[in-house]
């Protein structure tokens, strides 16, 4: 067949069906939950999860440790989760830290978000909070995720990291600006895993004993204090010790200097969510602490290193779908996409029975009708029925765990542009506030220098377009930021501001 050189070729599924919506997932109303019938989302995420074997597609380089979580404050007004039923309750935890974009052999000090994934081994099952060291992310719809990660990996032609790919994507997706500014600040190069905060990032829900729902965000505040490398310091450590963060954690725990984090939450009522000036389920936005203050919950301590890295850290499998009674989902689009993709990634990477691996096994009761599959290592249900309902066994649903119904704002299913709903199209206010209010004068200088250094790698015939478009985003966030970056790149400001967008 003759090669098709038409530059306007139709976008199709793997089976050849043309389709129109590559960036927005079908939902019930502009803020409602996503629909399982949007098979494009499934195809993109399922294919993405299988692109690399056997290391993780993202978060490949990491370390982890066991520890303990202890409840120190009463939050039973918000959730009926048994772990929070009394002050002093404890459970075992496993926490895995990681870098996001690099391969297993990459350096710990790369400029990159850091994964912060916690597994709570509770009596009501394992509960996973799978987050990062940042409260926001680069995209707000899961259809965008694989495209974004491709820009952080290697160029398909050169097999090199590409500034063109990264900044081209960011310049065409202004929703990324908030996270880009965090990444380009010194927060993008933490000194160690012990000296950074962790965030659940997504909006989740709490359900109380009366089946009332509130929305919630999780924050893990380091008790060791925030400590970051500057860009030159990170570069120097990369040449000195590529495993600096891994070594720092091992040395601290081995010496009895157990790292600790304070778990805090933010709470928003359903009524407040309907009137909040931004979409409260938008992963590129934060909830201001002045309006939704942090509420202390408990303390997490890491005090035990795994005796075998591969058995525990490499085979640890986290998924946002691992919830417990009293904790639920929200219409956060990225969270809804991860409910599918993370568990699917673990089944691909470790096999369908990955939750029988010791680090992933619930230490309490597990009863289900799953049978067979690769690497089944328990009794495989022995001679008990493998179907339900049946007349022979005693496994049955417990209706006391039923979640309350969720009232939806719409009964119209369509593909809604993620950036055109009320409260969804402001990509600049929070990014500007970050620059003006959250960063010190020296932090702002370092941010500009880091941006200029990263954008200086953009080259080729599209350079001016990419640079000028990204500068427009910086100008909209803060005029002084835009001016400083433009000056560092020797760009004519009037030309940059005139770039079509």
Find the mean pLDDT for residues 379-390: 88
Residue 345 has which token pair?
């990634």
Residue 1 has which token pair?
């067949």
- From 421, 427, 404, 422, select the one nearest 473 (Cα to Cα): 427
State the residue for tokens 């990955």: 354
CA-to-CA distance for 111 and 165, rounded, in angstroms? 16
- Whole-angstrom CA distances from 144 to 24, 34, 157, 255 are 8, 14, 22, 43
489: three-class secondary structure by DSSP: coil
Confidence of residue 500 (pLDDT cuts 50, 70, 90): low
pLDDT at 7: 56
Find the mean pLDDT for residues 464-488: 96
- From 38, 33, 36, select the one nearest 13 (Cα to Cα): 38
pLDDT tens per residue across span 324-369: 999 999 999 999 999 989 999 999 999 888 889 999 999 988 888 8
User: pLDDT at residue 501 above 60?
Assistant: no
pLDDT tens per residue across span 203-261: 999 999 999 999 999 999 999 999 999 999 999 999 999 999 999 999 999 999 999 99
Q: Which has more pLDDT, 414 or 1?
A: 414
381: three-class secondary structure by DSSP: coil
Q: Give the active site residues.
A: 59, 132
Confidence of residue 3 (pLDDT cuts 50, 70, 90): very low
Q: Which CATH architecture has domain 32-160+190-361?
A: Beta Barrel (2.40)
| Share above pLDDT 70 across residues of the chain, in percent, rounded to a whole number | 97
pLDDT at 130: 97
Cβ contacts of 360 within 8 Å, gap of 6 or more: 119, 126, 315, 316, 317, 354
Element (H, E) at 465: helix 463-477
pLDDT at 177: 98
12: three-class secondary structure by DSSP: strand
Q: Cis omega (within 30 of 0) on the bond before 389?
A: yes
CA-to-CA distance for 181 and 138, rounded, in angstroms? 10
Cβ contacts of 279 within 8 Å, gap of 6 or more: 31, 285, 421, 422, 423, 424
Asked if 218 and 136 touch (Cβ cutoff 8 Å), the reply is no
Tell me the helices (H) and strands (E) count for the chain, helix number first.
14, 12
Exposed/middle/buried for residue 14 (C-beta within 10 Å: 0-12, 13-18, 19+) = exposed
Cβ contacts of 141 within 8 Å, gap of 6 or more: 23, 24, 25, 333, 334, 337, 418
φ, ψ at 352 (rounded to 5°): -65, -25
pLDDT at 380: 87
Find the mean pLDDT for residues 277-298: 97
User: pLDDT at residue 277 above 50?
Assistant: yes
User: pLDDT at residue 118 above 60?
Assistant: yes
pLDDT tens per residue across span 55-90: 888 998 999 999 999 999 999 999 999 999 999 999
**What's the chain's average pLDDT?**
92
Count of C-beta atoms within a 10 Å radius of residue 177 = 24
Residue ranges with strand state E in 72-142: 90-99, 114-122, 125-132
User: pLDDT at residue 499 above 80?
Assistant: no
Annotate 394-452 with DSSP letters as a single string.
Answer: -----GGGPPPP---S---EEE--TTSSTTTS--SHHHHHIIIIIS-HHHHHHHHHHHH
pLDDT at 381: 87
pLDDT tens per residue across span 433-456: 999 999 999 999 999 999 999 999
Q: What is the DSSP letter of 310?
A: I
| Share above pLDDT 90 across residues of the chain, in percent, rounded to a whole number | 75
Find the mean pLDDT for residues 286-297: 98
- From 55, 218, 205, 71, select the one nearest 135 (Cα to Cα): 218
Least confident of 154-158, 365-369, 379-383: 365-369
- From 176, 158, 144, 172, select the one nearest 44 (Cα to Cα): 144
Domain boundaries, the chain: 32-160+190-361, 429-497
């Amino acid at each position: 067949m003759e090669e098709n050189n038409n530059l306007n070729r139709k976008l199709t599924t793997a089976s050849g069906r043309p389709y129109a919506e590559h960036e927005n997932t079908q939902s019930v109303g502009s803020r409602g939950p996503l629909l399982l019938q949007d098979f494009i989302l499934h195809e993109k995420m399922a294919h993405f999860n299988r692109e690399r074997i056997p290391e993780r597609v993202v978060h490949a380089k990491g370390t982890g440790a066991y520890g303990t979580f202890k409840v120190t404050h009463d939050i039973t007004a918000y959730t009926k989760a048994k772990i929070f039923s009394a002050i002093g309750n404890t459970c075992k935890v496993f926490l895995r830290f990681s870098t996001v974009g690099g391969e297993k052999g990459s350096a710990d000090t790369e400029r990159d978000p850091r994964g912060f994934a916690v597994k709570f081994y509770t009596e009501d099952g394992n509960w996973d909070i799978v987050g990062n060291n940042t409260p926001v992310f680069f995209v707000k719809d899961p259809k965008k995720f694989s495209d974004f990660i491709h820009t952080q990996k290697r160029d398909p032609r050169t097999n090199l990291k590409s500034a063109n790919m990264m900044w081209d994507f960011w310049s065409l997706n202004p929703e990324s600006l908030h996270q880009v500014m965090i990444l380009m600040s010194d927060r993008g190069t933490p000194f160690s895993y012990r000296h950074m905060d962790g965030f659940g990032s997504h909006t989740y829900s709490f359900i109380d004993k009366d089946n009332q729902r509130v929305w919630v965000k999780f924050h893990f505040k380091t008790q060791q204090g925030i400590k970051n490398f500057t860009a030159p310091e990170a570069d120097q450590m990369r040449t000195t010790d590529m495993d600096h963060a891994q070594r720092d954690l091992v040395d601290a725990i081995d010496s009895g200097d157990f790292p600790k984090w304070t778990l805090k939450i933010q709470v928003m009522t359903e009524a407040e969510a309907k009137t909040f000036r931004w979409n409260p389920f938008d992963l590129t936005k934060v909830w201001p602490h002045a309006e939704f203050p942090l509420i202390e919950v408990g303390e997490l301590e890491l005090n035990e290193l795994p005796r075998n890295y591969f058995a525990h850290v490499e085979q640890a499998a986290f998924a946002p779908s691992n919830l417990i009674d009293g904790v639920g989902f929200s219409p956060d689009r990225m969270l809804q996409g991860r409910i599918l993709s993370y568990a699917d990634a673990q089944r691909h990477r470790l096999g369908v029975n990955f939750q029988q691996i010791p680090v992933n096994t619930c230490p309490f009761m597990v009863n289900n009708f799953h049978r067979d599959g690769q690497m089944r290592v328990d009794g495989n249900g022995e001679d008990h029925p493998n179907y339900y309902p049946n007349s022979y066994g005693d496994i049955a649903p417990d209706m006391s765990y039923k979640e309350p119904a969720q009232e939806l704002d719409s009964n119209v299913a369509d593909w809604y542009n993620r950036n055109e709903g009320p409260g969804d199209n402001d990509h600049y206010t929070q990014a500007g506030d970050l620059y003006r209010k959250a960063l010190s004068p020296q932090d702002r200088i370092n941010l500009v220098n880091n941006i200029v250094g990263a954008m200086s790698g953009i080259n080729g015939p599209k350079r001016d377009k990419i640079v000028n478009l990204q500068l427009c985003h910086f100008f909209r966030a803060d005029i002084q930021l835009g001016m400083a970056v433009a000056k560092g790149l020797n760009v004519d400001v009037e030309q940059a501001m005139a770039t079509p967008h």
